[in-house]
Amino acid sequence: MTSPAYKLWRPIAICWLILLGGCAYERHTQAVTRIATPVDMTGHWEIDFARSDNLQAQLSSMARRVQREADRRARLAEEGRGYAGSPLPNQSDLVTLARLAEIITEPLLLEVIQNDARIRVKRDKSFALVCEYDGSGLSITVDTLGIQRCGWDGDQLFFVLELEEGLDVTHRLSLSVKTEMLLMVTSVETSATRFPLVVNQYFTPYSLEALGYRCERTLTRGKVCSTRQ
Amino acid sequence: MMAIPRKKWWFMRLNFLLLALTTLLSQMASAALTSDDQIRVSQQSVRLIVAPPMRLDVGISVKTKVLNNSGTHMEAAFRETEALLIGQRLRGEFESNDNWGVVRLFPEPSVIPQLSVQLSILESDGRELVIEAITRAVTGETILSAKYHDISVEEDYTNEKRDPFADLYATVVNDIADSLSPLSYQESYLRRLSSLRYASELVPESFPDYLAQDADLFTIRREPSRDDPMLIRLHRLQDYELLFVDTIDEQLANVSREVSGAYYLWMRASKEQLDWLDLRRERGVSAETLRNGSTFTRLQAVYAAHRSLKVHEQELFELVLELENEARATAVYVNEQVFKLAGTLEQQYQDWRAILRQINNLESTL
């Protein structure tokens, strides 16, 4: 037997559940896609060696991780259980990764130039990371040697570079407003072994005026540098 | 100095003549064009050998159809600037032969010069340059329509002063000069037709019955008196239009000076990268070969090649973007007034022509 009040409340409850479900779904979707919320990273940045990773230490840490993974797989094999995963890097692979990471993370100075449509992360001794965005999310550019994907993942700017011969480089930049710190996380991996070497580099702002000169380019005078402040 | 017996001297002279003749023939052969699906492939060491039969003014307009690979605005801006550089380069090739009249780069095809060359850049990567050139006389007659393809070789980049695609530009100018020979018009007739066509384009009601048009072909039906005040005014407006074109040209010359060094380095880096890629593919690098002692060398080479091209590309793109804004404003002084124009070159050109029409309307009502 069902009371009239129950009859009335049942559809309301169903609607409420549907609404809750909708909200939960929405929250889940947001958590997965991370809507772009660009932050202003404009400025000149220099590396903070004290906070940044030491490549040698990273290599040792990675070697320990590989060793632990090798032990785990060996245990699983002994127990007669299979395991899934890419082949583990050998010593030579690790050294290759470390040497590549050393080249890729060589820049110590960054200059970020940013507007609504484009961000350029100029790096000394290397090429700039450039991302043009139109609000549609991922931006893909194709070069003769590979593909670059970039965009804003929430408030983090990412660049995924897939080069020939299976060399993958990922840069992820995030800004800490409180401490005025820019973190660039660089991940390097190769197709030979899908075991990335990750390097964290912290950058602090510096003033260009501190250099004592600044340069500008004009059509009529070319590149002109002066000591004026 | 070595003494040579007279008999031997004659023999040597004969040999020398034969050698000279062979060289000349090979030069002619190298200047000839091979047709491959209507694309003319430029040979090496083409020289400007053909003199035009008439001293005609030439107007070059150029646009890019090169695929924007990266899809970025930076590359699009660069390709626009590149088109202007190539247009300027072709103009330089015309100007190296004194038998041509005034050669100008127009923002869009114009009837002021008696000969209009419309260039389309189809491919350009430092290793290859493919362009389409359509040449029309002011009569409306298409006198040449062809695609040109030139492949640079390593030696083209060893001498920094040399343009790696100099052969292509020389071939285009030679072809245009060649194609003028069958034209039966007098130079003076083409100049008068040019003047009337300009008048009728700028102010259609100015000389309505003076031109006859059959399809796209124009002929002079009758001519206004040289003292016709409207004709004099329109000549002055034509001078104003050329003043604008020359002002723009000054800007482009500055842009060209600024960019050409970086453009050359980009072309060289791009060619090196493409050649290196081909070589690597020829050697058959596969994923299986990666796990060996030279993995680092291979990967490092990939990254280094990518970095090298990007550095050159970005330096060029950045330069283009910096200059783009500055070059996009033009001030022209005429009639004791300064006119300021902004926007793309095409927009400025159209705005300027609108101003010229206004000047004509004002002066014709006086």
- Give the CATH number of the domain where residue B159 resides: 3.40.50
Q: How confident is the model at residue B298 (pLDDT cuts 50, 70, 90)?
A: confident
B322 touches chain A (CB under 8 A): yes
| Residue B346 pLDDT > 60 | yes
Return the ∠ at Cα B266 (arms to B263 and B268), rounded to 5°.
110
Chain A nearest-CA residue for B74 = A132
User: Which chain A residues are within 8 Å of B300, Cβ to Cβ?
Assistant: 99-100, 103
Under 8 Å CB-to-CB from B118, ≥6 apart: which residues?
A: B61, B62, B63, B109, B133, B134, B135, B136
The DSSP output letter for B62 is E
Inside any domain, residue B175: yes
Inside any domain, residue B199: no
Tell which A residues from 142 to 201 touch B, by Cβ distance under 8 Å: 142-146, 161, 163-167, 169, 190-192
Inside any domain, residue A10: no
Can you give the pTM of this predicted structure?
0.71
A132 touches chain B (CB under 8 A): yes
| Residue A202 pLDDT > 90 | yes
**B254-285 b/e (C-beta count within 10 Å ≥ 16 → b):** bbbebbeebbbbbbbbbbbbbebeeebeeeee
Inside any domain, residue B221: no
Q: pLDDT tens digits for B128-185? A: 999 999 999 999 999 999 999 999 988 888 866 678 999 899 999 999 999 988 888 8
Q: To which residue do tokens 């690979």 refer?
A: B69
pLDDT of residue A45: 95
Looking up residue A141, the CATH number of its domain turns out to be: 2.40.128.20
**B12-39 b/e (C-beta count within 10 Å ≥ 16 → b):** eeeeeeeeeeeeeeeeeeebebeeeeee
Residue A105 has which token pair?
């993370």
Which one-letter amino acid corresponds to residue A79?
E
Inside any domain, residue B98: yes
Helical spans, DSSP H, in chain B: 6-31, 73-95, 166-180, 187-202, 229-282, 295-327, 345-364
CB B148 within 8 A of CB B34: no
Cα of first residue to Cα of last residue in chain A, in angstroms, is 87
| Candidate from A222-226, B291-295, B314-318 with smallest mean pLDDT | B291-295
Inside any domain, residue A119: yes
| Candidate from A158-162, A163-167, B6-10 with smallest mean pLDDT | B6-10
**Do strands A214-218 and A222-226 pair parallel, antiparallel, or not at all (unpaired)?**
antiparallel
Q: How confident is the model at residue B7 (pLDDT cuts 50, 70, 90)?
A: very low
Question: For chain A, what is the domain count?
Answer: 1
Residue B317 has which token pair?
């793109």
Residue A25 has which token pair?
């779904």
Task: Name the CA dihedral angle for A101, A107, A109, A113, rounded to a multiple of 10 degrees.
Answer: -90
| DSSP codes joined into one string, A70-122 | HHHHHHHHHTT-----PPPP-HHHHHHHHHHHHHHT---EEEEEE-SSEEEEE
CB contact under 8 A, B296 and A95: yes
Closest CA to B113 of B236, B245, B250, B211: B245
Task: Return d(Cα A221, Cα A34) in angstroms, integer.
Answer: 46
Strand, helix or coil at A165?
Answer: helix
The distance from CA B248 to its chain's CA centroid, rounded to whole angstroms, is: 16
Which one-letter amino acid corresponds to residue A175?
L
Inside any domain, residue B336: no
Inside any domain, residue A165: yes
pLDDT of residue A221: 59
Q: How far is B322 from chain A (nearest CA, A)?
A: 8
Under 8 Å CB-to-CB from A144, ≥6 apart: which residues?
A: B273, B274, B277, B309
Task: Return d(Cα B94, Cα B50) in angstroms, integer.
Answer: 11
Inside any domain, residue B41: yes
Inside any domain, residue A97: yes
Residues of the domain holding B43: 34-180
pLDDT of residue A130: 92
Q: pLDDT tens digits for B188-201? A: 999 999 999 998 88
User: Which chain A residues are within 8 Å of B74, Cβ to Cβ?
Assistant: 118, 130, 132
CB contact under 8 A, B72 and A132: yes
Strand, helix or coil at B10?
Answer: helix
The distance from CA A20 to its chain's CA centroid, rounded to whole angstroms, is: 33
Burial (Cβ within 10 Å: 0-12, 13-18, ≥19) of residue A219: middle
CB contact under 8 A, A100 and B69: no
C-alpha distances (whole Å) from B297 to each of A99, A205, B15 are 10, 35, 54
Q: How far is B250 from chain A (nearest CA, A)?
A: 11
Q: Which of A132, A161, A218 sits opposite B326 (nearest CB)?
A: A218
| Residue A11 pLDDT > 70 | no
CB B178 within 8 A of CB B191: no
Give the residue with greater pLDDT, A34 vs A132: A132
Q: Which of B69, B258, B299 sits opposite A142 (nearest CB)?
A: B69
Task: Name the CA dihedral angle for B284, B286, B288, B291, rounded to a multiple of 10 degrees.
Answer: 100
Q: How confident is the model at residue B29 (pLDDT cuts 50, 70, 90)?
A: very low
pLDDT of residue B82: 92
pLDDT of residue B254: 81
CB A150 within 8 A of CB B286: no
Question: For chain B, what is the domain count?
Answer: 1
Task: Name the CA dihedral angle for B66, B72, B73, B76, rounded to a multiple of 10 degrees.
Answer: -10
Helical spans, DSSP H, in chain A: 4-33, 55-78, 91-104
Residues of the domain holding A73: 43-226
Task: Return d(Cα B78, Cα B69) in angstroms, integer.
Answer: 12
Residue B337 has which token pair?
């007034």
| Residue B9 pLDDT > 80 | no
